Amino acid sequence: MSKKFFGTDGIRGRVGEEPLTADFALRLANAAARATGLSRGKVVIGKDTRLSGYMFESALEAGFVSAGFDVFMTGPLPTPGIAYLTQKFGADMGVVISASHNQYFDNGIKFFDGAGAKLSDETEAKIERMTLEGAITRDSAELGKAKRIDSALAQYEEFLLASFPADVNLEGLKLVVDCAHGATYKVAPRVLSELGAEIIPIGCSPNGRNINAGCGSTHPELLQTTVRGVGAHLGLALDGDGDRVVMVDHEGNVVDGDQLLYLLALGRKRDGLLKGPVVGTVMTNLGLERKLQSLGIEFMRSKVGDRHVLEMLRAHGGVLGGEASGHVLCLDKATTGDGVLSALEVLAEVKRTGKSLAELVADMPRYPQLMINVKISGKIDLDGHEGIQAARREIESGLGDRGRVVLRASGTEPLIRVMVEGENQQEVEQAAQALADQVRTLA
């Protein structure tokens, strides 16, 4: 289904450029309210720490109120916190103002339904159509109201603490926590400290412009250096809106979402809690798939995006899925990806087994994988370009069953992602460069 504004994870772009303007945000909120078919409703709105969040918060508030919705504003709160509170408050919709791992000059708007789940393609398309029709304002007596929820952060913290096993604590663990100067800058250190860990916080001083700047899950170098420097047992890095996490072992090695998924799958299988298949995406490392299969654990691949992982898990009765980027879904604990909760799940395994993070993921092989992002100025028909497809077929033929090729357009940035994976590092690098060069001829 073709959509003009919605991408892989909501609407995202440069602030001040269409569609990321205050006017558009007002019309979008108004349309989202009307798309529910309700004349009265409730919506929870949260944001990360970007300076532009104030502007979009006000615009969204006006759009929802004018359509008859009562608005509950939480202020800075992780995306999964909004999903949780949408359910808890019995709201009809949740909205997050965030561009996730992007820098501060970008922003985005993403939605949850009343069950705390991402919207369907059909619902997003309906909202788009109604946004283009313009906003309406109900009669004064039918307008909504707006208020701030001062207890939102505390309620989300209580949820996270309640998710942690009652018979386990984090005493004796020294952890470095990188919050990317984003939405988790308060909640992550407080929850981990409450559970008994010694915390060294970094990336916890947001100023509206430093979100994801050289820190967080997409820039783990600072975390790696700090973990080694302070002699921590491990470190964790969240992204700007807190729905993804990557970790670093005591030696400073990055442990990505695929490895975390492996670790959690083994723990749930051991405890008899693993239901249905484990779901990754087309980008998931082949080493995870083959290792899980060797252990008798079914593995399936979805399209890129945690929303698609969620859809496949639900369709097949699974509880565990995710992406290498650090989006991990534990549907037996939450309705959406939650970086802090995922970290807590991993830390519980570390304490229960008495093993280090490095030991817990040592058995999962990782195939050499190279992804090259090719910048583009507009949409490219990858499937219809014979030169690109011929190059792809040649590479796939050479790799055989020893590797894979993934070629796709990014859903959040103007990029074509070229990924090649195989058993031989040199072969992978040469193939990826050759295919990327073909794509650049169209860029």
Domains defined along the chain, listed by start: 11-149 (3.40.120.10), 172-254 (3.40.120.10), 256-340 (3.40.120.10), 369-440 (3.30.310.50)
Which of 107-111, 343-347, 432-436 shows the lowest mean pLDDT across its residues?
Answer: 432-436
Active-site residue, 100 included: yes
3-state secondary structure of 139: coil
φ/ψ of residue 114, rounded to 5: -60, -20
Work out the average pLDDT over 317-345: 97
Contact 168, 267 (CB under 8 A): no
Looking at 52, 66, 98, 100, which residue is catalytic? Answer: 100
Q: Does the pLDDT value for residue 381 go beyond 80?
A: no
> For the chain, what's the residue count?
443
* pLDDT > 70 in the chain, percent: 99
86: its two tokens: 């949408």
pLDDT tens-digit series, residues 155-165: 999 999 999 99
For residue 172, how many C-alpha atoms fall within 13 Å in the half-sphere facing its CB? Answer: 9
Q: What is the pLDDT of residue 182?
A: 98
- Give pTM, 2 decimals: 0.91
Give residue 269's pLDDT: 97
Q: Which of 106-120, 274-288, 407-421 has the lowest mean pLDDT?
A: 407-421
pLDDT digits (tens, 9 = 90+) for 164-177: 999 999 999 999 99
The overall average pLDDT reported for the chain is 95
pLDDT at 2 over 80: no
Q: Is 308 helix (H, G, I), strand (E, B) or coil?
A: helix
User: What band does 377 get if pLDDT is binned at 50, 70 and 90?
Assistant: confident
Task: For residue 78, name the pLDDT band (cuts at 50, 70, 90).
Answer: very high
Mean pLDDT of 280-287: 94
Structure confidence at residue 104 (pLDDT): 97
**Average pLDDT of the residues in 47-64:** 98
